[in-house]
Amino acid sequence: MRSMTHAFHSVLFFPFSRFQLRFLTTHDRQIRVLHGSLMRGCCSMHLSSAFSSRHPHVTSTLPQLTSKPFVRSLFSSSSSSLLSFEVVSTEVSSKPSAAMSVWSETADNDSERNLYPISELLPSSAYVHIPFCRRRCFYCDFPIVAVGERTEGTSTHMDARMANYVDLLCREIRVAASANPSRPLKTLFFGGGTPSLLPIPLLLRIIQALDSSFGIAAGAEISIEMDPGTFDVQSLRQTLEGGVTRVSMGVQSFSSELLKACGRAHGLNEVYAAIDAIKGSGLKNWSLDLISSLPHQTLFQWEHSLQEAVAAGPSHISIYDLQIEEGTLFNRWYKAGESPLPSDDVSATFYTTASSILTNAGFEHYEISNYAKEGLQCKHNLVYWNNLPHFAFGLGSTSYVDHKRFARPRKFNLYADFVESFETSGGQIDFPESSLEERILDTVMLSLRLATGLNLQQFKQQFGTTVAAIVCKALFPFASSGYVAVLNANKQPISAEILLDHSLPLAYTGGASLAHSDSEVAAFVHLTDPKGFLLSNEVISSIFSALPSGSSYLISSELLQRYGCKRDILV
């Protein structure tokens, strides 16, 4: 292979066999690591020649691309004919770096089950931020633009402003699509702000742009947030005809005093009118948001809100415990846990009340603050909680593509500048990838929000047995005191003590552990409802503090052993 002479300096991407293959190389210091690992599985020359003979075009692109990746590979394969490795790059200047790379010479079926087809790691979700609101609620710190009420006088100006924003959005969507490999979108979420303030033709333009750029899969979930007082049955029908399949309505409270107290732009009448409109439209898949622990809120008020919410007949309810965010008016007026905000104990009662009322009403408590009728969970939000990649477009939105969690500017002008430079750079985002450490923490934090919890087997495969063992050990005290439940692969509860066995990394080397039958192996851990959910921060931060931080991942002895290489090569 020609490039052997000047080493590899690039990140490549091309289809190979049934998998899409990303092959990553590095500076010559790290390439020895790769070679070292490859040679244990088969022969590096073999690999190279296989590439160059079948894909001669690859070598020709090499010299133009430069990168300085930081290699940390998790090399997990057994058969000599199969290699799979994960390579993480923190600094890439030319091309998106490799995420999970798979190389198979024979691609025999036996071995495939261990591998991640690359397509699963491509984003198939998108979030679109519509920042316009009539006014800013007192608790809100979102990137929004308050536009006031629509009147004869303001209408034209408002339309122009929104059209201008939608132009920017569409430009960003097109560039992102051209620069990133993707699949047709399976979930799409219009959040805000108040997306229902957007005139329907503009909304349709965005959907159109997404469809032509990425494609929208058949049966995709397309959600939109709507506020009472911003739509009627007519406009809702038009929205649904435009492709939207799900509505999330921000009611927040069924008490008019509380609506006023948090600065909502609508009253109670608008709420009931909006519920009637949704019922009138025939939409079944819709969600209703409530906020608990508002100032002066009583348990009686809260129960009433919950009952009214259930009576409205949504398929999904989100219950958010009020968080006092910096820079909000609430932050200026109130302090969490102190009067007139309910005390922590009262807030906890609100939470457990919600959990029991909604569960009795047939909702499944599938995430810390979300409840759904069976099969009607929010697929888009599950993408976040499963830590899967997703696109995001618009002011202040955060995308997670190529392991880069990138937040767009929150100021209108800066966002416009960003779109400008995004276009000129051809869709490049100059932003570091999440480190391995951040990915571990994100996975723990997000999956424990879900009722299904953390999939230990998958976690171990992704991050290694040492890390999994630390997590198991940190979870044990919570499991034995009933904050965390441990399940086997058949989702049957098993004793917390099992976690202790797992905290010995050597005894826990694979799915078919030596000491245990399958039913005695912890496959999932999840927080209990409501006790564990209520203290999720405590549990998660305990795991965080048990995990090593910073560069210690790089030089974990486990990795070194796997590669049989010296410390200085890796660092």
Partner 1 sequence: MVRFSVRRTAQVVSSIARKLPQEALRLASIPCMSQASSSWEICNRSRWKVPRAVTSLLEGKCRCNSFSTVPLEEVVVVVGEKEERIDLTQYPPHLVRNFSIIAHVDHGKSTLADRLLELTGTIRKGLGQPQFLDKLQVERERGITVKAQTATMFYNYGSGGIGSSPGRFLLNLIDTPGHVDFSYEVSRSLAACQGVLLLVDAAQGVQAQTVANFFLAFEADLAIIPVINKIDQLNADPEGVKTQLKTMFDIDPQKVLLTSAKTGQGLEHVLPAVIERIPHPKGVVNAPLRMLLLDSYYDEYKGVICHVAIVDGVLKRGEKIESAVTRQRYDVMDIGILYPELTPTGILLTGQVGYVVSGMRSTHEARIGDTLYQASMVVEPLPGFKPAKHMVFAGVYPADGSDYDALCHAIERLTCNDASVSVTKESSGALGIGFRCGFLGLLHMDVFHQRLEQEHGAQVITTTPTVPYIFEYADGSKLNVQNPAALTSNSGKRILTCWEPTVMATIITPSEYVGSLMTLCSERRGQQIEYSFVDGQRAMLKYRLPLCEVVIDFYNELKSITSGYASFDYEEAEYQSSDLVKLDVLLNGQAVDALATIVHRSKAHRIGRELCDKLKNVLDRQMFEVAIQAAIGSKVVARETIPAMRKNVLAKCYGGDVSRKRKLLEKQKEGKKRMKRVGSVDIPQEAFHSLLKTSKV
Smallest gap from Cβ 543 to partner 1, in A, equals 9
Q: How far is the CB of 210 from partner 1 (least distance, A)?
A: 16
The two three-digit tokens of residue 518, written as one number: 């399958």
CB of 254 closer than 8 Å to CB of 312 = no
Contact 143, 408 (CB under 8 A): no
Question: Which residue shows structure tokens 């927040």?
Answer: 252
> Residue 402 CB, nearest distance to partner 1 (Å)?
15
Of the residues 93, 509, 537, 551, which one makes contact with partner 1 according to CB under 8 A: 537
Nearest 10 degrees: CA dihedral of 15, 16, 20, 25? -90
Paired strand residues for 401: 404
Please tell me whether residue 390 binds partner 1 under the rule CB under 8 A: yes
Site for partner 1 in 223-242 (CB under 8 A): none
Contacts of residue 113, defined as CB under 8 A and 6 or more positions apart, other chains included, come to none
* String marking each residue 359-388 x if it binds partner 1 according to CB under 8 A: ---------xx-----------x-xxx---
Beta strands in 164-321 (DSSP E): 185-192, 216-226, 246-252, 286-292, 316-321
Least CB distance to partner 1 at residue 399 (A): 8
Least distance CB 541 / partner 1 (angstroms): 4
Burial class (CB in 10 A: 0-12, 13-18, 19+), 527: buried
Q: What is the DSSP track for 369-387?
A: TEEE-TT-S-HHHHHHHTT
Minimum Å distance from CB 370 to partner 1? Answer: 9
Decide if residue 405 touches partner 1 (CB under 8 A).
Answer: yes
Asked if 392 touches partner 1 (CB under 8 A), the answer is: yes
Among the candidate windows 94-102, 211-219, 277-285, 316-324, which touches partner 1 by CB under 8 A?
Answer: 316-324
Site pattern 157..196 for partner 1 (x: CB under 8 A): ----------------------------------x-----
Task: Tell me which of 190, 214, 302, 400 binds partner 1, using CB under 8 A.
Answer: 400
From candidates 436, 521, 534, 554, binder to partner 1 by CB under 8 A: 534
CB 88 within 8 A of CB 11: no
* Distance (Å, whole) CA 25 – CA 30: 8
Task: Rule CB under 8 A: say whether 541 interacts with partner 1.
Answer: yes
Q: Which residues contact 92 (CB under 8 A, 6 or more apart)?
A: 11, 67, 68, 69
- The answer to whether residue 154 forms part of the interface with partner 1 (CB under 8 A) is no
Pick the stretch among 21-29, 92-100, 205-213, 540-548 that binds partner 1 (CB under 8 A): 540-548
348 binds partner 1 (CB under 8 A): yes
Question: What is the nearest approach in angstroms of partner 1 to the Cβ of residue 518?
Answer: 32
Distance separating alpha carbons of residues 75 and 87, to the nearest angstrom: 9
Q: Which two tokens stand for residue 486?
A: 């441990």
Candidate list 93, 398, 421, 425; residue touching partner 1; CB under 8 A = 398
- In this structure, the number of other CB atoms found within 10 A of the CB of residue 472 comes to 28
Task: Provide, rounded to whole angstroms, the least separation between the CB of residue 146 and partner 1.
Answer: 19
State how far the Cα of 559 lies from the Cα of 566, in Å rounded to an integer: 10
Token reading at 319: 């219950």
Q: Binding residue for partner 1 (CB under 8 A) from 28, 63, 538, 548? A: 538
Torsion of CA 334, 340, 344, 348, to 10 degrees: -120
Nearer to partner 1, 120 or 344 (CB): 344
Binding mask 408-447 for partner 1 (x = CB under 8 A): ------------------------------x--xx--xx-
**Which residues in this chain contact partner 1 in the complex, by CB under 8 A?**
127, 191, 318-323, 344-345, 347-348, 351, 368-369, 381, 383-385, 390, 392, 396-400, 405, 407, 438, 441-442, 445-446, 449, 478, 481, 483, 533-538, 540-542, 544-545
